[in-house]
Structure 1
Amino acid sequence: MIPRVALPESRTMITLEVRRREFLTPGFASVTFGGPAVRDLTVVGNDQAVRLFFPREGQTALRMPTLSNEAWMAQLLVMPKSVRPWVRNMTVRRVRPADDEIDIEFALHGDSPMSAWVRRVGPGDQAGIFDIGTTYRLPEHAEGQLLVGDETALAAILSILDGTPPSLPTEVYLEVASASEIRPVEAPAGVRIHWLRRDTGDLRPGTLALDAVRRASLPSGRFYTWVAGESGMATTVRRHLVNDRGVPKRDISFVGYWRQGRSAPG
């Protein structure tokens, strides 16, 4: 059975500064964070995930939890909102230890707290991270892989592709809001990326990804699946592969990054 989450032996709350921000497409931005504390992040996989802490609008400083264990949430929730930061789950897109830098890519959604912060953030602004591990586990027996996600999983999937060997046949289904979010991707020779755009109809996020997998010719032989994004989409893709395609449960990792109609805590 594939472990659901892999964590390093020890973790710590890390405070960093924004070094730069770049808008990649109308709906995506990349923010580079830096500082010597980057060295305290132990990267254990290509889909390295972190809790990202950032100030609310009007706060003049970042106040981080001090507990480097699962009790941090209780500590956060007892903080008054005047000092409590926002917190969201994110995937680290790139790590450059030699430069003490990490990049995180953001899918921008309207005027949400995170999107508003990304649009106004500038060099010197503070943010914090806390390691929450990885879920991508390519088994040794895999003869191919299937990667499925909506825009919230885009950074993780691109990072996974960075570490994918050219000899591994890989089918990728990426759902994004519109054609303007489709971008060139340098991928290994064995990778085929299928972009799915929701601006072709009034669709619930995840619908196109699920329908595409249902119609897809799956990789031949024993293959590994990693699917992430809207929770209902991730669980339904897994159920389809297991019940309708006979894929062993142990060869699938699935992660619900968010749930339609439900806001993130914090």
Structure 2
Amino acid sequence: MTTTAAPATAPFRFFDVHVVRTERRSPSVVRITFGGERLAEMASGGRDQRFKLFLPQPHQSRPVFDDTGEGWYAAWRVQDPAERAVMRTYTIREQRHDPEEFDVDFVLHGADAAGHAPASGPASSWAAAARTGDRLSVLAPTVEDNGGVDFRPPSGTDWILLTGDGTALPAVAGILAWLTPGTHAQVFLEIDHEDDRRYLPSFADADITWIVRDHAGAPGGEAVVDALRTATLPTGTPYAWIAGEAGSVKAQRRHLVQERGFDRRAVKFTGYWRRGATEEDLIAELTAAAAAADQD
């Protein structure tokens, strides 16, 4: 099995990009391909490679920044919320060269072609209505081994556990494509609709369980927890990667550590979103917590 250690650096830089094309992949997902003049300098580490995407406000044709240097975050925080770019975190599904392009899969959360849906956020609404030539900015890595890759199974891992909902599906697909022959992977994926199933190529021996939310009859994430509780998992030393709704992720980690006996260090868990909260809410909470820690 291929294993990787944490990187020593996490170099990221801003890139101006534009929409090259859009493709509806399923009822819930649209794939958007981006291009840009400097994308040859961008380097994805594959797997669950994350990056920051910045959308313009509805009255703008491109995102507006006061600073894109090392002090970008502080400058972004104090910008007028009605003018500053909308920041979201996404996964690079695939990067290609000649031409320089990369793909991002957006979960639409019910947004229609005009970008309207009561439950959709600004990124889903933007993606549903995206057209060729639309411009935005991304903060993306410039080296392959970077801090935006979390899937790093340690040496001695015997098998892989992956779980996620629709928001984690691009990362799961990237991980499965990266795994080497002879690796065993147990995968649990929750999707909104039957037609959201897709072929996930992998050299690994991957056992994939699809959980369709409209069949499960439970709020998002609970069906994955239930599936884990009743699953027969392989023996040996596991490495678990869990992503999706924050409440579900915490419940899954608790089950694996407390009931299954997984080593805490062998469970990588990430809340991609939290029910009832926007990314701005989560950023504000993290900023307040960091400020409180500095005072202490």
Q: After superposition, what is the alpha-carbon deviation per residue over 1:76-126, rounded to whole angstroms, capped at 9, x for unaligned?
A: 232234532211110000011332111000111133211221122111111
In 1, are the aligned partners of 2:178 and 2:202 still within 8 Å (CA)? no
Q: Among the aligned pairs, what percent are the same residue?
A: 32
Structure 2 equivalent of residue 32 of structure 1: 33
Q: What is the letter of the counterpart of residue 22 of structure 2?
A: R
Instruction: Tell me the distance in 1 between the aligned counterparts of 2:37 and 2:109.
Output: 31
Instruction: Tell me the distance in 1 between the aligned counterparts of 2:126 and 2:5.
Output: 31
Structure 2 equivalent of residue 122 of structure 1: 131
Question: How far off its partner does 1:199 sit?
Answer: 0.3
Q: What is the letter of the counterpart of residue 232 of structure 1?
A: G
Instruction: Tell me the distance in 1 between the aligned counterparts of 2:87 and 2:203.
Output: 34
In 2, are the aligned partners of 1:53 and 1:64 still within 8 Å (CA)? no
Question: How far off its partner does 1:174 sit?
Answer: 0.4
Instruction: Tell me the distance in 1 between the aligned counterparts of 2:214 and 2:256.
Output: 26
- 2:280 match: secondary structure: coil
Structure 1 equivalent of residue 23 of structure 2: 22
Instruction: Tell me the distance in 2 between the aligned counterparts of 1:40 and 1:200.
Output: 44
In 1, are the aligned partners of 2:55 and 2:137 still within 8 Å (CA)? yes
In 1, are the aligned partners of 2:176 and 2:204 still within 8 Å (CA)? no
Change (3 A) 1:263 1:241: same
- 1:256 match: secondary structure: strand
1:211 aligns with 2:226: yes
1:234 aligns with 2:235: no
Question: How far off its partner does 1:45 sit?
Answer: 4.4
Unaligned runs of 5+ in 1: none
How many residues get paired? 264
In 1, are the aligned partners of 2:62 and 2:136 still within 8 Å (CA)? no
1:96 aligns with 2:105: no
Unaligned runs of 5+ in 2: 111-116, 141-146, 282-296
In 1, are the aligned partners of 2:54 and 2:87 still within 8 Å (CA)? yes
Question: How far off its partner does 1:65 sit?
Answer: 5.5
Instruction: Tell me the distance in 1 between the aligned counterparts of 2:15 and 2:8.
Output: 16
Change (3 A) 1:164 1:4: closer
Change (3 A) 1:32 1:144: same
In 2, are the aligned partners of 1:5 and 1:133 still within 8 Å (CA)? no
TM-score by length of 2: 0.82
Structure 2 equivalent of residue 259 of structure 1: 274
Find runs of 4+ consecutive structure 1 residues off by over 3 angstroms: 2-9
TM-score by length of 1: 0.91
Question: How far off its partner does 1:9 sit?
Answer: 4.4
How big is the alpha-carbon RMSD for the aligned residues of Structure 1 and Structure 2?
A: 2.2
Q: What pairs with 1:66-145 in structure 2 (closer than 5 Å)?
A: 66-69=67-70, 71-110=71-110, 111=117, 112-131=121-140, 133-145=148-160
- 2:248 match: secondary structure: helix
Change (3 A) 1:41 1:65: farther
Structure 2 equivalent of residue 249 of structure 1: 264
In 1, are the aligned partners of 2:153 and 2:239 still within 8 Å (CA)? yes
Structure 1 equivalent of residue 184 of structure 2: 169
Change (3 A) 1:134 1:7: farther
- 1:13 match: secondary structure: strand
In 2, are the aligned partners of 1:6 and 1:135 still within 8 Å (CA)? no
Instruction: Tell me the distance in 2 between the aligned counterparts of 1:24 and 1:65.
Output: 36
- 2:187 match: secondary structure: strand
Instruction: Tell me the distance in 2 between the aligned counterparts of 1:240 and 1:4.
Output: 26
Instruction: Tell me the distance in 2 between the aligned counterparts of 1:169 and 1:46.
Output: 16
Residues 113-122 or 181-190, more deviating:
181-190
Structure 2 equivalent of residue 182 of structure 1: 197
- 2:236 match: secondary structure: coil
